[in-house]
Chain A
Amino acid sequence: MTGECSYEAVIRLKGATCAFPRPVVISHLFTPRPNTRPDKSLAVAFLIDTPKRLKTPVIHRKQNSDPISNRYKNAPLPVTFKPPRQLRRMKRKRWVLERETLLALVSSLCCAALLVSFARYEILAKALHHKNSRATDAMEPMEPTPQSSEPYAIKTDELTRKFGEMTAVDALNLRVSSGKIFGLLGPNGAGKSTTIKMLTTLLEPTSGSASVAGFDIVRAPAQVRRHIGYVPQLLSADGGLTGFENLMLSAKLYGMNRAERKVRIAEALEFMGLTESGQRVVKTYSGGMIRRLELAQAMLHRPTVMFLDEPTIGLDPVARHAVWDRLEDLQRESQMTVLITTHDMDEADELCDELAILHQGKVAAVGEPDALKATVGPDATLDDVFVHFSGGSIQEGGSYRDVRQARRTASRLG
C-alpha cells in the first residue's frame, strides 16, 4: 500500500492519535498478511516527504470500537514520526528547464569531445593557439643547440641518490662526450639503473647535479625529456597494439604534427626493417623485432642523447647483432650520444667508444676499452677488467627484483 493518505488513516492503522498539523504521506506500509499472528512490527509506517518540518508529535493512544485497531492497541508504537533529514525537504522544485539546459550542454560537450578526439583535434589545437604559431620562426633558433655549446652530452657532479639508509649512487662524477657510445658496466646493484633513472628525470637525485644535452635534470626536466630517447630494459612496446600504433603514440606524445608523424614513422619503420610487419600486433613480434621497434620509437623525435638499458638482454645472437647494427648506423647518421648499460662484455667491446665501470654506486674505472684492458694486464679481456674493478666476488647487490625482471624478460621472449 503506497501513496498519499490523510492523517486519520494513520491513526486508524496505529490505533493511536497523533497531533499532526497536516496530512502526511505514507510511502509504504506493512500490512498484516492473512493467517499470520499479528505482532508489533506489523504496524510500521514509513513517513516520508512531509510538507513541513515536523517536531516530534504527541502521540495519544485511543480506545475505539474498530476491532482491528483494538487488537493492536497495546502494541508499542514503533514509529518515531521523525523523518530523516534528507527526506524532510520541501516539495520537489520545478527544475525541468534547468535539467534540459544542463543535458543539452553536456551532450553537446560529449559530441564535441568525441568528434574532436577521433578526427580533427589538431585543427582545434591550432585554432586555440594561433597566436603562438606566429612566433614559430623566431623561437626555433633560440633553442640552445647543446652539441655546439656543451662538449659533454652528459655531465654529473657529485650525483647522489639514497634509498633510506642505502646509497645507490654515491657522488657520481661522469663525463660523456658528445657523439660517443658510452657503456656503463657494473654488477647488479651497482647503481646503473638508478643513474639512468635520474638522468632520464624519472627519479630526483638526493644531492648533486647533472645535465643532459645541456639541460639541468632538476631545473629543466621538461627540456631534458625533449632531447633524450629511452629504451627501457624490459620489452616495453605495447603488445596489444600494432607496431605502427606504438610509433603513432610516441609521435603524438612527443608533440609532432600530422605531416611529420606520417613521414617519420614510415622512415623509422623502414630504417629498422619493420615496414612489412608494421600493421601486425606487437604480440606476434620476435624479441629482436620488439627491440628494433623500441629503437624506432626512441629515435622518432631525433634525440640528442639516447639511453639504452641492457638493450640486448635475452636476445639470440642473430637478433642481438641486428640490434647492434641498427644502433651503430643510427648513431653514425644522427651523431647522437648513446649511453648503454650492459652486463654483456661482447656488447661493450663491440659498441662502446668509452666505458665506465660502476661499483657500489661509484665509478671504479673509466676509459676506452683498450686502455682499460691495458691497465689490467697484457692479454686481458673485458671480462678480466670487469672482474678486476668490481671486486671479483659475489656481490651483495642483485636484488630478487632484478632477477625476477630478467626472468620475466626471458619468458616473454619465449
Chain B
Amino acid sequence: MTSARLDARPAAWAESSALAGLFTQTAAIAEVELKKVLRDPTELFTRAVQPVLWLVVFGQVFSRVRGIPTGKVSYLAFMTPGILAQSVLFAAIFYGIAIIWERDLGIVHKLLVSPANRASFVLGKAISSGFRGSIQTVIIYLIALALGIGIRWRPLDIAGVFFGVALGSAIFATFSLIIACIVKSRERFMGIGQLMTMPLFFASNAIYPLSLMPRWLRVIALINPLTYLVDALRGLMIQGGESIHSLPADFGVMAVIFIILATIASRLYPTLVR
C-alpha cells in the first residue's frame, strides 16, 4: 500500500447524486439485513408457529359458530388473510428493538457518521422487513393449502398478495422504528410493543368483518393500516373473498401511510444517538 493511495478519496464522490446515493445505500442496508436473516433463519420458522395455532385451533373452533357474516366464504377462509396480516404485524412491530440493540452496540453511531442519506437507513430496514413478510406469506399459503382453503392461484393475485404483505410489513416496521427512536430503551419498547399489537389486531377486520363492529370501533378500524392490508389480501388471496374497498384504494392508503411514516422516521433516526 502506498501513501499516495492512502490520500486518494473515492472517485465516485464527484459523480454521485442524492438520488443515486439513496438508492445504493438503501440497497446496501437491505442486503446486509437479508444476509443476516438468511444466515440464521430460525427466527422465521419460529414465527410460523403462531399463525398455525390461530388457523388450526382458533379458526377450527370459530368456524363452527355461524354467527359471523363472512359473505360467500367459510369463516376459516375468511380469517386466513387476517391471520397473515396479523403475523406480519406481530413480527414487524418488534422490529424497532433491533435498532435499539444496534444503538447500544454503537452500530447506529457508525452509520450516522457516514455521509449516507438518513432516509436510506429507514428504507433499507423497511425493505428487509418486507422480505421477512414474504417468507411468512409462503408459510401461510402452505398452511392454507393443508387446511384445504380455496386459494386463488392466478399469478397476478399472488404477486398482489406478496406486494401487499411487503408494503404492510414495511409500514409496521417503520412505525416500530419511530417508537424505538422515541423510547430508546429495550424495556420500555417491549412494554409499548405489547401495548400496541393487540389493539391494532382487534381494531381491524382481521378476524371479523367491519360490519359487526360498533360505530366507534369501526372508526378506529378505518384509521388502522392493518384494516387496509387485510381488505386487500381478502380480495386477492382466497376464492370468493371480497374486498370492501377497491384494491387501488387499499394500496393507495397503505402507500400514503408508508410515505408519511418513513418521512417521520428519517427525521427521528438521528436522534437515537443523542
Q: Is B195 an interface residue (CB 8 A)?
A: no
B111 pairs with A253, CB closer than 8 A: yes
Nearest Cβ distance between residue A237 and chain B, in whole angstroms? Answer: 8
Known: A84-B210, A98-B246. A124 touches B23 (CB 8 A): yes
Which A255-275 residues sit within 8 Å CB-CB of chain B? 255-257, 260, 267, 270-271
| Tally of contact residues, A, Cβ under 8 A | 82
Known: A98-B248, A133-B15, A302-B9. A203 touches B273 (CB 8 A): yes
Q: Is A277 an interface residue (CB 8 A)?
A: no
Q: Which residues in A have their C-beta under 8 angstroms from that of B107?
A: 236, 238
Q: Is B71 an interface residue (CB 8 A)?
A: yes
Interface string of A213-226 (1 = CB under 8 A from B): 00000000010011
B24 pairs with A121, CB closer than 8 A: yes
Q: Is A249 an interface residue (CB 8 A)?
A: yes
- A106 interface neighbour in B27, B116, B160, B246, Cβ under 8 Å: B160
A118–B159 Cα distance when bound, in Å, is 19
Query: What are 6 A-to-B residue pairs whose CB atoms are below 8 Å?
Result: A84-B211, A129-B19, A236-B106, A253-B25, A260-B12, A333-B3
Q: Which residues in B have their C-beta under 8 angstroms from that of A158?
A: none
Q: Is B42 an interface residue (CB 8 A)?
A: no
- A128 interface neighbour in B19, B29, B71, B106, Cβ under 8 Å: B19
Q: Is A200 an interface residue (CB 8 A)?
A: yes
Q: Which residues in A have their C-beta under 8 angstroms from that of B35?
A: 240-241, 245
Q: Is B216 an interface residue (CB 8 A)?
A: no
A202 pairs with B113, CB closer than 8 A: yes
A217–B14 Cα distance when bound, in Å, is 21
Which B9-29 residues sit within 8 Å CB-CB of chain A? 9-17, 19-21, 23-25, 27-29
Q: Which residues in B have their C-beta under 8 angstroms from that of A333?
A: 1, 3, 6
Known: A84-B211, A201-B113. A271 touches B1 (CB 8 A): yes
Q: Which residues in A have their C-beta under 8 angstroms from that of B57?
A: none
Q: Is A394 an interface residue (CB 8 A)?
A: no
Q: Is B150 an interface residue (CB 8 A)?
A: no
Residue of B nearest to A412 (CB): B105
Q: Which residues in A have their C-beta under 8 angstroms from that of B30?
A: 117
**Looking at chain B, what size class is its interface with the partner chain?**
35 or more
Interface string of A117-149 (1 = CB under 8 A from B): 110011011101100110110011001000000
Q: Is B40 an interface residue (CB 8 A)?
A: yes
B17 pairs with A48, CB closer than 8 A: no
A103 pairs with B157, CB closer than 8 A: yes
Q: Which residues in A have their C-beta under 8 angstroms from that of B46?
A: none
Q: Binding site of A, secondary structure by majority: helix, strand, loop or mixed?
A: helix
A230–B109 Cα distance when bound, in Å, is 9
Q: Which residues in B have their C-beta under 8 angstroms from that of A203?
A: 273-274
Residue of A nearest to B5 (CB): A267
B15 pairs with A132, CB closer than 8 A: yes
Q: Which residues in B have their C-beta under 8 angstroms from that of A129?
A: 15-17, 19-20
A89–B16 Cα distance when bound, in Å, is 51
Q: Is A37 an interface residue (CB 8 A)?
A: no
Q: Which residues in A have their C-beta under 8 angstroms from that of B244?
A: 86-87, 89
Residue of B nearest to A117 (CB): B27
Give the most central of A107, A249, A253, A299: most B CB within 10 Å. Answer: A253
A140–B8 Cα distance when bound, in Å, is 11
Q: Which residues in B have their C-beta under 8 angstroms from that of A95?
A: 246-248
Residue of B nearest to A222 (CB): B115
Q: Is A181 an interface residue (CB 8 A)?
A: no
Interface string of A224-253 (1 = CB under 8 A from B): 011010101111101011000100111011
Residue of A nearest to B121 (CB): A253
For the complex of A and B, the 3 pairs showing the least CB-CB separation, nearest first, are A236-B106, A232-B106, A252-B28
Q: Which residues in A have their C-beta under 8 angstroms from that of B251?
A: 102, 106
Residue of A nearest to B120 (CB): A253
A136–B13 Cα distance when bound, in Å, is 9
B23 pairs with A255, CB closer than 8 A: no
A255 pairs with B115, CB closer than 8 A: yes
A102 pairs with B211, CB closer than 8 A: no
Interface string of B250-274 (1 = CB under 8 A from A): 0100000000000000000010011
Q: Is A93 an interface residue (CB 8 A)?
A: yes
Which B127-149 residues sit within 8 Å CB-CB of chain A? 127
Q: Which residues in B have their C-beta under 8 angstroms from that of A233?
A: 106
A125 pairs with B24, CB closer than 8 A: yes
B109 pairs with A135, CB closer than 8 A: no
Q: Is B183 an interface residue (CB 8 A)?
A: no
A139–B9 Cα distance when bound, in Å, is 13
Q: Which residues in B have their C-beta under 8 angstroms from that of A102?
A: 160, 247-248, 251
Residue of A nearest to B270 (CB): A202
